Amino acid sequence: MNTTNNFQMVAKTMAELEDVLAEELIELGAQNVETGIRMVSFTGDNALLYKANLHCRTALRILKPIHTFVANNADEVYEEIKKMDWEQYLSLDKTFSIDAVVFSHIFRHSKFVSYRVKDGIVDFFSERYDKRPSVSLTNPDLVFNIHIAHNKCTLSLDSSGESLHKRGYRIAQTDAPLNEVLAAGMILKSGWRGECNFIDPMCGSGTLLIEAAMIALNIPPGIHREGFAFEKWPDFDSELFSDIYNDDSGAKEFDYKVIGTDISGQAISIAEKNVKNAGLKNVITLEVKPFQQYTEAPQPAGVLMVNPPYGERIRIDDIEALYNMIGERLKHVFTGYDAYVLSYKKEFFDAVGLKPAKRFFLFNGALEVEMRKFEIFAGRRDDRSSEEVSTRRYDRDSRAVGENQREFKQDFGPRGGDRDRPRDNRERGGYRDRDGGGDRGGYRDRDNRQSVDRPDRGGYRDRDAGRGPSERGGYRDRDAGQSSDRGSYRDRRDSGSQSADRGGYKERDNRQSADRPDRGGFREKDRSFGGDRPRDVDSERPKREYKPFDRKNAVYDAATNRPVFVKKDPDDEQLKREPIDFKKRKSENSSETPGAERRVNKVFIARKRPVKRDDADTDVTSRDNDPDKE
């Protein structure tokens, strides 16, 4: 750790803020700046390390990598950690903690990785001194960060300690407060640097207002923090950090206003405490005022930025009406302003009713949100030139409305899909003109108006159109021979005048063509699919008596060698079943092998006990052969 030598560093941030953080680091003098996923890598010295922690508004942590290796299991991680010379970073009287971030199919539990790293560190000291440094989770002297991507492991020193989004000025908060890093990223992405008024009509605890005022005055965001982790490092240069901390050469003048209002008096009270603690009471103006009560906008025109509720953590009875009100007030009151609205779902932006000039995709915690810029102007959009604005209210597929060309995720469509691909007439379907003219189907006029010379080809239509008799499907009678039965959604009033070759859903009074028998389908009071049942369900139908075929009397056909079952005359008497005489059977089968009698008894035991009969000989026989009576 030599201040004269540059070393590699990594700044962690929120998703979609990597470009803003890279610009901040470049302004601070960072070299070899490269952006990644939620991180920016760069090189610099200890002075840049101190500046990055103190001045970066969109950074969460500043890490200093100290060891990189490859490991395929936890034991290899332990061995690699144990091989390091820990005396140059840690001593027995110091405390430490481990922060693990794992993106790997090999290591699936970040806590277990932390335990193995801790074991490697304490075993290094135990084998040499029979003592070990302690672990502290609340206020450690050193914080180590282990990052694993697949099998590539990077061990770093965390120079920040607590996350840098904890500025130190917030002493109270409302429900669902905005993250300080996200608030600063929104303002920096908008391009506002204090050259005009800044208004938040739904300010809550005042996060956007405080971050905007600090940006306008160029106050370092970490000025209110109690400390940083690098202050406990063995080579910490207190004089160098003191010079950086007390340097106010970058301070700027701010001649405009930062105004915050809210419908809740409690929220304004909380915001006043936070603003006072940040030392910005003379810069920020707060007032209890609902957004819908704005009749005049502060002049001169400036930037309006608002973070309305999403309906996730704060429940709103009619959230669509809320966004509708926001759009109405922006259009009629804040003429000349650039308005930025952060929200979660596309339906909320549709309720605003304004066409965005830019779209920024961000993350508010785990939610993928979007910030849209609206340029508020007087008059109608059609009054402007065609080069400035499209005549459509909102072109969802327009790529000119944002720097990020991804579609909004709430559109429920895959990225890079075939949404923009031109389609020919054969591929057109879905919701179309209800007149159903030509080869375009859809919802048609209830009078069944349709082109005579062109078949139905789209929307909700008969699936049998254009198919042969053997290919037709859909809801129809199970009889495959009904090749001309084609159903469709028609007006029930016209069902009585339908042609004879068209079935489907018929009117409830069962009006049907007289020269055609019933073909099945859903009927009144009879919801079966069978086509062999009579239409009149109230009439008495003859009931057939079920009589199984007797295979003993089957006659086999000499030509086909198949049984031909002969129906018995119902007047014939059924042959009475005669009881079995086991004694007689034994006498007749005297030539059988020993044990045959036991087999007969076993079969008898497996059957149900015989029912008493009137024949006395049979009863005696049954009792003699029943083993339960012995």
pLDDT in tens, 400-409: 433 443 443 4
- Residues 197 and 331 both lie in one domain: yes
Q: What is the pLDDT of residue 558?
A: 67
Q: What is the pLDDT of residue 522?
A: 45
- Residues 65 and 98 both lie in one domain: yes
Q: What is the pLDDT of residue 407?
A: 40
Residue 559 lies in a domain: no
The b-or-e profile of 576-585 (16+ CB within 10 A means b, else e) is eeeeeebeee
- Residues 196 and 127 both lie in one domain: no
Tens-digit pLDDT profile for residues 164-206 = 999 999 998 888 889 999 999 999 999 999 999 999 999 999 9
Q: What is the pLDDT of residue 312?
A: 66
Tens-digit pLDDT profile for residues 279-338 = 999 999 999 999 999 999 999 999 999 999 887 656 677 888 999 999 999 999 999 999
> How far is CA 493 from each of CA 468, 476, 489, 508, rounded to the nearest angstrom?
29, 21, 12, 10
Residue 306 lies in a domain: yes
* Domain total of the chain: 4
| Mean pLDDT of the 332-356 span | 94
Domain of residue 112, residue span: 7-158
Residue 555 lies in a domain: no
Q: Rounded to an integer, what distance in angstroms lies between the CA atom of residue 444 and that of residue 426?
A: 18
Q: What is the pLDDT of residue 545?
A: 56
Query: Domain holding 48: CATH number?
Result: 3.30.2130.30
User: What is the Cβ-side half-sphere exposure of residue 36, based on CA atoms within 13 angstroms?
Assistant: 9
Q: What is the pLDDT of residue 553?
A: 61
Closest CA to 157 of 142, 147, 136, 138: 142
Statement: the pTM of the whole predicted model exceeds 0.85: no
- Residues 351 and 435 both lie in one domain: no
The pair phi, psi for residue 285, each rounded to 5°, is -105, 130
- Residues 287 and 373 both lie in one domain: yes
Give the model's confidence band at 244: pLDDT under 50 very low, under 70 low, under 90 confident, else very high.
very high
Q: Is the pLDDT of residue 432 over 80?
A: no
At 477 the three-state DSSP class reads coil
At 14 the three-state DSSP class reads coil
Q: What is the pLDDT of residue 158?
A: 96
Mean pLDDT of the chain: 74
Which region among 118-122, 210-214, 461-465, 554-558 has the lowest average model confidence (pLDDT)? 461-465
Residue 1 lies in a domain: no
- Residues 389 and 445 both lie in one domain: no
At 48 the three-state DSSP class reads helix
Instruction: Say which DSSP state 52 is in.
Output: H
Q: What is the pLDDT of residue 137?
A: 86
Q: Rounded to an integer, what distance in angstroms lies between the CA atom of residue 201 and that of residue 209?
A: 10
Q: Which long-range contacts link 234-238 to residues 24+ away (Cβ below 8 Å)?
A: 234/1, 234/88, 234/89, 235/1, 235/46, 237/3, 237/46
Q: What is the pLDDT of residue 15?
A: 94
Q: Rounded to an integer, what distance in angstroms lies between the CA atom of residue 393 and that of residue 251?
A: 43
Q: What is the pLDDT of residue 365?
A: 87
Q: Which residues contact 12 (CB under 8 A, 6 or more apart)?
A: 38, 39, 59, 60, 61, 62, 63
221, 214 in Cβ contact below 8 A? yes
- Residues 319 and 433 both lie in one domain: no
219: alpha, beta or left? (left if phi > 0; alpha if psi -120 to 50): beta
- Residues 93 and 191 both lie in one domain: no
Task: Cite the DSSP H helix spans in 218-313.
Answer: 238-245, 265-277
Q: Is the pLDDT of residue 498 over 70?
A: no
The pair phi, psi for residue 45, each rounded to 5°, is -105, -170
Q: Which of 247-256, 407-416, 441-450 has the highest mean pLDDT?
A: 247-256
Q: Return the residue matching tokens 């701010």.
A: 254
Q: Is the pLDDT of residue 366 over 70?
A: yes
The b-or-e profile of 60-73 (16+ CB within 10 A means b, else e) is bbbbbbbeebebee
Other Cβ atoms less than 10 A from the Cβ of 612: the count is: 9
Q: What is the pLDDT of residue 245?
A: 95
Residue 328 lies in a domain: yes
570, 608 in Cβ contact below 8 A? no
Give the model's confidence band at 143: pLDDT under 50 very low, under 70 low, under 90 confident, else very high.
very high
Angle (CA) 54-59-62 rounded to 5° is: 70
Residue 381 lies in a domain: yes
Q: Which of 93-102, 435-444, 514-523 has the highest mean pLDDT?
A: 93-102
Which region among 93-97, 336-340, 488-492 has the lowest average model confidence (pLDDT)? 488-492
Percent of the chain surpassing pLDDT 70 = 59
- Residues 118 and 217 both lie in one domain: no
Residue 317 lies in a domain: yes
Q: Rounded to an integer, what distance in angstroms lies between the CA atom of residue 195 and that of residue 191?
A: 10
Helix (H) or strand (E) holding 324, with range, is helix 319-332
- Residues 99 and 184 both lie in one domain: no
Residue 170 lies in a domain: no
- Residues 126 and 202 both lie in one domain: no
- Residues 282 and 342 both lie in one domain: yes
Q: Rounded to an integer, what distance in angstroms lies between the CA atom of residue 82 and that of residue 234?
A: 20
Where a domain ends, among 158, 192, 215? Answer: 158
Q: Is the pLDDT of residue 105 over 70?
A: yes
Which region among 21-35, 446-460, 569-583, 599-613 has the lowest average model confidence (pLDDT)? 446-460
Percent of the chain surpassing pLDDT 90 = 52
Query: Domain holding 394: CATH number?
Result: 3.40.50.150
Give the model's confidence band at 26: pLDDT under 50 very low, under 70 low, under 90 confident, else very high.
very high
Q: Rounded to an integer, what distance in angstroms lies between the CA atom of residue 537 and that of residue 481?
A: 24
